[in-house]
Amino acid sequence: MCNPVEIRISDFDYPLKEENIAKYPLKQRDKAKLLCLNFDKEIEEYHFCDIANLLDSNTFLVLNDTKVVYARLLFQKESGSIIEIFCLEPVDKDIQLAYAQKGSCVWKCLVGNNKKWKQETISSSFINDSKQLTLTAKRLCQENETWIVEFSWDNEDLSFAEVLQCMGHVPLPPYLKRKDEESDKQDYQTIYAHQEGSVAAPTAGLHFSENTFKQLADKGVKTCFVTLHVGAGTFKPVSTETIGQHIMHTEQIVLKKENIKELIEAIGKRIMCVGTTSVRTIESLYWHGVSVLKNGGKYSDIDVKQWQPYQEICEISAKESLQAILDSMEKENKSILIGQTQLMIVPGYQYRIVDSMITNFHQPKSTLLLLVSAMIGQDWKKVYAFALENNYRFLSFGDACMFTK
């Protein structure tokens, strides 16, 4: 495998204009355009509602069931100025436990308009079950561009997830350049979102409707739901000249033992991931299995580093890797596999499990575009040029594309 560190991010730029960016979704999720790059590397055009006709029982579909939380908190001062706190991740790293905290919790946050925060604490009122309550925020310390913030509220029966549900705002991507609206609570969430924990939606999944799943089931397409909690780093463009200088964000992964069994059974089929987060989850799983084998089959949490796949030659098969994970879980009587991944998939990466993907059209100079290029090579330029010329809608609320390597 080639060394990726010298790849220049300027080679992954393209002219995205403001009018190409979809600010809102279509009224019907599955009416978005679907651009397909077929096995002959030719472009074909469909709509997303056609997808069941393009897949068959030989397809194993992997989706990310993470749920977006209302991670933006607005505190208005008496002067009228607004301080915005964007909750990035809990200090204790366990997302599910952090959302279940009652009375108080501590998070790593971005603080907007921080210069206006003069007092030790700031507070904001919200309504829960017809009762007025107060959320208080206190900065504990600064870590580079982020702050460690302690939150407390005056009802110890209420979890932090419920507090966010009451007074938080939908964390829309900054490139949409608009305020969140009531409709975004539904629009910026997949219909299969289940596990609370993301500050960004796995947007390729926004195209799926109940009818889509019914049609796929009728075709014999099996689905598998895994969890990767999407962090704010997904919006961060690569700002360094070469990608070797870029630090990939870390995100939490949660998989069930049943997921591993399903993947082992699917080896030999077309394994298609919905979205880049699902791709990173499944490919991270392979490298975790490699680590388990190197550690004598001993169980451990997932911890995949950014450049791990590029630092070793590995001949372990996907089935061997997955079986090692399953065996280690059964030895320790574990039903859930958790951990984190920093995996960065770039041109030169050898896909180990995933061979197809459904995704949206991504920002220029982004790690998401690098991941796409790792699957379809320089054809990404042809695909994106065609999409721009034919008025496809780009980014989170935009149209979809489907690739097979």
Where along the chain do its domains lie?
4-67+189-404, 71-169
Per-residue pLDDT at 116: 93
pLDDT, tens digit (0-9, with 9 covering 90-100), for 355-372: 999 999 999 999 999 999
Instruction: Give CA separation, 199 vs 87, 233, 309, 393, 403, in Å.
Output: 8, 10, 27, 22, 26
Residue 2's pLDDT is what? 53
- Counting beta carbons within 10 angstroms of the beta carbon of residue 226, is it exposed (0 to 12), middle (13 to 18) or buried (19 or more)? buried
> Tokens 């995933």 — which residue?
354
**Inter-residue contact 198 to 86 (CB < 8 Å):** no
DSSP state of 364: T
* pLDDT computed for residue 236 by the predictor: 75
Strands (E), 14-130: 33-37, 43-47, 59-64, 66-68, 72-76, 82-90, 104-112, 121-128
pLDDT at 282 (0 to 100) = 98
User: What parts of the chain have a pLDDT lower than 50?
Assistant: 1
Give the neighbor-by-neighbor strand order of the sheet with 33-37. Answer: 43-47, 33-37, 400-404, 356-360, 270-274, 59-64, 222-229, 251-256, 336-341, 302-304
Output the CA angle 359-238-23, nearest 5 degrees: 50
Spatial CA neighbour of 383 closest among 22, 19, 42, 8:
42
Residues 180-205: tens digit of each pLDDT: 999 999 999 999 999 999 999 999 99
pLDDT score recorded for residue 402:
98
- CATH ID of 4-67+189-404, from 3.40.140.10, 3.40.1780.10, 3.40.640.10, 3.40.50.700: 3.40.1780.10
The pLDDT assigned to 129 comes to 79
Tell me, what's the pLDDT at 96? 85
Beta strands in 316-399 (DSSP E): 336-341, 356-360
Q: What is the DSSP letter of 250?
A: P
Burial class (CB in 10 A: 0-12, 13-18, 19+), 360: buried
pLDDT in the model for residue 5: 87
What's phi and psi for 287, nearest 5 deg? Answer: -70, -25
